[in-house]
Structure 1
Amino acid sequence: MTSEHRIPLNGRVLPARSLRILLALLASMLLLFVDGAPARASVPGTGTNPPVALTVPQPTGKHGVGVIKSHLVDTSRQDPWKPERQRELMVSVHYPAVKATQYPLSPWLSPGVVPVFEFLMALPGYLAIPTGSVDWAGARSHSRVAAPLDTTATSPKVVLFSTAQGTTRELNTVLIEDLASRGYIVVSIDHTYESAAVEFPNGRVETGLNHDRGPVTQKKSIDSRVADTRFVLNQLAAVSGTSNATLGNTALPTGLAGAINTTKVGMFGHVQGGYTTAETMYADSRIHAGINLDGVMAYGDGKGGNPYLPGKAAQHGLGERPMLLMGAGTQGTPTNHDHTSGSDQSWTDFWSVHHGWKRDLTLNETALDSYTDFSFFLPQINTTVPIAPAMIELFIGRVDPVLSMNTQRVYVRSFFDLALRNKQSDLLNGPSPQYPEIKFNY
């Protein structure tokens, strides 16, 4: 089936026969909102079975994890999608924290995001998870809200994270919390009106717009995302080394601002967030190292009638700064996402012009959303609420999901340990018998 006969949703491609149903359902989604406030999520357990309770995988590091969420307003910039407004962002800051149980666990999904996410997951022809069958609102992360910084974490490094279009920053909690438990300060960014939903203070929710995949819109998107990321980095730099600082509207836990250092920052992102990582690195030398998780580095991919229009990183490389490409690996169509298979010209071009440290890894038998929290919650739901096997494979592939998540965490952590802490790892030198599911494309 050619791309002309399919449509994207949240980075996922659906058959064209779902188009009319999907558009009608998305239109009806407006009924969920009144004056910008989300409707209440459906009450779980209204059927014959109790709702599925979701368990977020435990981080693997020795530190506890703290989190604060901050509302940032860029008063110097109009919103690219709603120019009558100033650009507003929500970010989460996860950090190594003392294991203080008196601080509440943060919800996995923000309360205002839950009804939007539940609606999308219930779409027929998508995952079709019945409304009320999963306790989305009850799931808790392992991060304690505003818990004190763990001062035994020596010189924690700052790592930024950028989401894919149509998801939320909260759908990468597993990777983010794991890095924080290993002594990193991870700042994740929701790009407003590209994320499925963003909850702002006082319960205001801004839902995503239906962005087309044409080059003009995608170029506008990547330019906005780069500006968002640099603005966030500037906000972090403004509080770096201070005491009792406030980030946006949120007071930072004691010691956290003093631990923030923006002179040698890492960044990673998923799909468009991976592209954002590369383009922000090109624009801003403060970002020393990056990981692109399965993202095309072009605003025109040369497919489906679109021209091929590579980004600046794919045209010029990133100097001597280290970059890790991690692609999904499927058999048949589409082929593995790497620089050697011809599946993505932008990766091939980047590989030829980037002369710094680089690796191209494929996580075999995975799919696009293997690099998100879909890998933990789809199998948990499927044990009680059956999901079509073809849909599970479409989202997270055929790989064992626990193995997939553990492998991602190890390789993402090993890369940042090497690039930001100069901590050597044989894992990045070549194939490992401990992780045979990782293929090196070098």
Structure 2
Amino acid sequence: MAALMIPAGTAVAAPARLALPRPTGLFPVGTTELHLVDSGRIDPWSAKPRELMISLWYPAWPSVRPVAQHLEPGVADFYDHNAGQVGVTPGMADFAGTRTHSRVDAPAIPGDRTVIIYSPGGANSRSMGTVLVEDLASRGYLVVTIDHTFTGPVEFPDRFEGLGRGVDNARVMRERAQDTSFSDDWGTFWANSTGWKRDVYLPTAEHMSFADIQILLAQINRGTPLPHDTLTGAIGTIDPQRSIAIQRTYIDAFFALHLRGQRTTLFDKPVHPEVRLIT
């Protein structure tokens, strides 16, 4: 059995404590999760009926219910051990200790709600969209977040499932489409959209700038500097707080315009120096 000896007096950095920015809407937020089984569809990777985990995020009455975890234990462990690509080594950050700003099973405020579905990026948990999802719920929307089993980490009531083996991109997209009852790839969708459309471009952002990981990496980096090229390759050079504020602003304006009929000039010309609009 191997043992790791740490000389006396050697300082060992404590795991970075992580926090998510508060939602900016008027309503407190409640959340609950559901385990769904699609008995009419066989999962191509398990050969069993397709299982999904989803969460509902909604405007709620003030409550003393427990605050929801950001990541379930198995999902937190997944990120702890699989964030090496962005310079994070196991134990560097307390992924399991992070909390949301939403109360578990808090009583919902009655009323009809517009429903928005959030589908995470490839290999990511639905929880990595919490910063944007909570903000939408605090503004009066009902948001459904969905995990796509075997294409990202998922914590079920009885087990944890990581990334599946032999998961090819074509099959992934077909299954994700059926999971959300929506299908298209981006280029075809954009080329054939004849109605209103805008491409909001942040030139100094990168792929992971559009998930909670941008906020978490910035906090980890403050305690233990990460390799600069690795960090900027993941989240760009835009300030993460500015990135989140801009995304929240444009996403809220988009849904307010198309779902609530609230007119805006935000998409007519850029009002933030970090943003370019492509019509």
Deviation at 1:211, TM superposition (A): 5.1
Aligned position for 1:207: 162
Tell me the TM-score normalised to structure 2 length. 0.92
- In structure 2, list runs of 5 or more residues that go unmatched: 1-9
Partner SS state of residue 386, structure 1:
coil
Q: Identify which of 117, 135, 140 aligns with 1:160.
A: 117
Output one character per residue of 1:189-235: Cα deviation in whole Å (capped at 9) or x when no partner: 1100001x100013x001112556xxxx33322221111113xxxxx
Question: Residues 131-150 of structure 1 correspond to what in structure 2 (within 5 A)?
Answer: 131-150=90-109
Match of 2:208 among 369, 378, 393: 369
Pairing of 1:424-439 with structure 2 (within 5 A): 424-432=263-271, 435-439=272-276
8 A contact 2:267–2:277 mirrored in 1: no
Partner of 1:440: 277
1:118 aligns with: 80
Matches of residues 203-242 of structure 1 in structure 2 within 5 Å? 204-210=159-165, 217-230=168-181
Aligned partners of 1:398, 1:70: CA distance in 2, in Å?
A: 37
Q: How many residues end up aligned between the 2 structures?
A: 270
Where does residue 240 of structure 2 map in the other structure? 401
Q: Distance in 1 between matches of 2:263 and 2:11?
A: 53
CA–CA separation in structure 2 for the residues paired with 1:117 and 1:173? 15
Q: Tell me if the contact between 2:29 and 2:138 (Cα under 8 Å) persists in the aligned partners.
A: yes
Residue 41 (structure 2) aligns with: 77
Q: Distance in 1 between matches of 2:43 and 2:133?
A: 27
Residue 380 of structure 1 corresponds to 219
Answering whether residue 88 of structure 2 is matched by residue 129 of structure 1, we say yes
- Cα 1:210–1:391 change in 2 (3 A) is farther
1:374·1:395 contact (CA, 8 Å) conserved in 2? no
In the alignment, the residues of structure 2 paired with residue 145 and residue 398 of structure 1 have an alpha-carbon distance, to the nearest angstrom, of 35
Deviation at 1:47, TM superposition (A): 6.5
Between the aligned partners of 2:16 and 2:246, the Cα distance in structure 1 is 26
Alpha-carbon displacement from aligned partner over 1:237-285 (angstroms, at most 9, x marks no partner): xxxxxxxxxxxxxxxxxxxxxxxxxxxxxxxxxxxxxxxx663xxxxxx
Whose relative contact order is higher, 1 or 2, with alpha carbons under 8 Å and at least 6 apart?
2
CA deviation digits over 1:67-95, x for unaligned, max 9?
00100000001002222x11000001111
Distance 2:32 2:237 in 1: 35
More strand by share: 1
Relative to 1, partners in 2 of residues 1:423 and 1:62: Cα closer, same or farther, differing over 3 Å? Answer: same
Q: Secondary structure at the match of 2:26?
A: coil
Tell me, yes or no, if structure 1 residue 174 matches structure 2 residue 131: yes
Find the aligned partners of 1:416 and 1:185 in 2 and give their Cα distance.
12
> Identity over the aligned pairs, expressed in percent?
37
What code does the residue aligned with 1:66 have?
A: G
Residues 194 and 211, structure 1, Cα contact 8 Å, conserved in 2: no
Does the CA contact (< 8 Å) of 1:129 and 1:385 recur in 2? no
